[in-house]
Structure 1
Amino acid sequence: MESKCKICRRAGEKLFLKGDRCFTPKCAVVRKPYPPGVHGSTLRRRRGASEYGSQLKEKQKLRNIYHLRENQFRTYVDKAMGMRGADASSKLLEALSLRLDNVVFEAGFVPSRSIARQVVGHGHARVNGKKTSVPSYALRVGDVISLSDAFLQSSTMQTTDEAFKKFNAPSWISLDRDAKTATIVSLPDTVHQTSFNIKLIIEYYART
């Protein structure tokens, strides 16, 4: 599997796959602002990508950010496209946003989605008080997310504890900083998630 830094360099922009490191001068996109590979630094600037190339690049960016395999990502897209009367772009982002591992990250419990995935997979996540170890678990409005006592006392949480106390979660997540819980208070506001051109992704799968 390609390293997180190479994925960002290939995309030509920061995808923030390594948490805090992405905000430092150590970020690979800052140190090596060119594609990976032997000839990466000598590649000439290419002409504008084709329509298909743009769709593929956007799809790969979103898939990599959520750490999904192609078949997993395709399942989300197919479900969003199959909803009658609904905007497929909004439904796709909504479903991805409400994944348990994503909410653990968005709530500020951990510095990256990859760590959030591990935390959930190792059985440290609780949904409404019940242990849930499936990263893709789909949360709903009203669900309360917390973490195990073992994780809260771990070095990982101790490192991020001060940051968590000051963390500003998205408007659809309400944090109780004292109890260290996160509550889904509304559906995600996908309209303002403008870092991706989701329509290109839908168009990519519509033609395959």
Structure 2
Amino acid sequence: MARDMTPVLKKCRALGIEPAFLGVEKKESKKHGASRPRKMSEYGMQLKEKQKAKFIYGVLEKPFRNYYEKAQKLKYGTTGENLMILLETRLDNVLFRMGFARTRDEARQIVSHRGVKVNGKIVNIPSFAVKVGDAIEIKEGVKSSQRFKDIIEVTGSRATPAWVEADKEKLSGKILAIPARDQIEVPVNEVAIVELYSK
């Protein structure tokens, strides 16, 4: 599978994203000479917003386009809001939001390595769409590993969104609701993405 190997902090700088949105705690240590910001075209701005969303959620172009087309067909909400909700309710993102992974990349790896159960069954597809009422837990044999002790040490103080419930001791949680757009804390202008795809 294709992967973007650009260093995370470099990509964050290029897209104007705080690394914290990716679960990365590192801070830029120095500024590399203040360059005058170039005026961006409307198309450039729209493209940048799409790149930000793809980068934050770790989604490549083809599946991202599929999410957009699915968002268009949903009977509720605007296309942009629906797009963000579809991305936010991916299993790998939910694991990250619950604090069971430090980053979405790590969450993807945990899911792919068959470490997660949804409603009692192992699911190894990071893009699996969760629903209200779904019970999510880390598999028994993995829970006691040093890896998860290290993860909880880092994520223990992170706030859990209101639409999910997470027990960080038992490494289990539940989907309480579908998130509203104002509960999705990512710096993306989804209206610009819709405008880009509408051209």
- TM over 0.5, shorter chain: yes
Partner of residue 128 from structure 2, selected from 126, 133, 137: 137
1:83 is displaced (CA, Å) by 2.8
TM-score normalised over the length of structure 2: 0.87
Corresponding residue of 1:4: 8
Q: Point out which structure has higher relative CO (alpha carbons under 8 A, 6+ apart).
A: 2
CA distance in 2, matches of 1:188, 1:33: 36
- Check if 1:108 corresponds to 2:112: no
TM-score normalised over the length of structure 1: 0.84
1:165 is displaced (CA, Å) by 5.0
Equivalent residue pairs, number: 194
Q: Comparing 52-61 with 84-93, which one deviates more in the overlay?
A: 84-93
- Check if 1:172 corresponds to 2:163: yes
CA contact (8 A) 2:161 2:183 kept: no
Q: Comparing 113-122 with 77-86, which one deviates more in the overlay?
A: 77-86
Distance 1:81 1:32, change over 3 A: farther
Matches within 5 A, 1:195-206: 195-206=187-198
Sequence identity percentage: 34
Alpha-carbon displacement from aligned partner over 1:5-30 (angstroms, at most 9, x marks no partner): 221121133244763xx334xx3xx1
Distance 1:192 1:33, change over 3 A: farther
1:150 is displaced (CA, Å) by 3.0
CA distance in 2, matches of 1:33, 1:123: 41
CA contact (8 A) 2:102 2:154 kept: no
Alignment RMSD (CA, Å): 2.1
Distance 1:98 1:192, change over 3 A: closer
The residue type paired with residue 82 of structure 1 is: K
Partner-residue secondary structure (3-state), 1:161: helix
Corresponding residue of 2:141: 150
Matches within 5 A, 1:1-208: 1=4, 2-16=6-20, 19=23, 22-24=24-26, 27=27, 30-31=28-29, 33=31, 44-84=35-75, 86-163=77-154, 165-193=156-184, 195-207=187-199
Q: Which runs of no fewer than 5 residues in structure 2 stay unpaired?
A: none
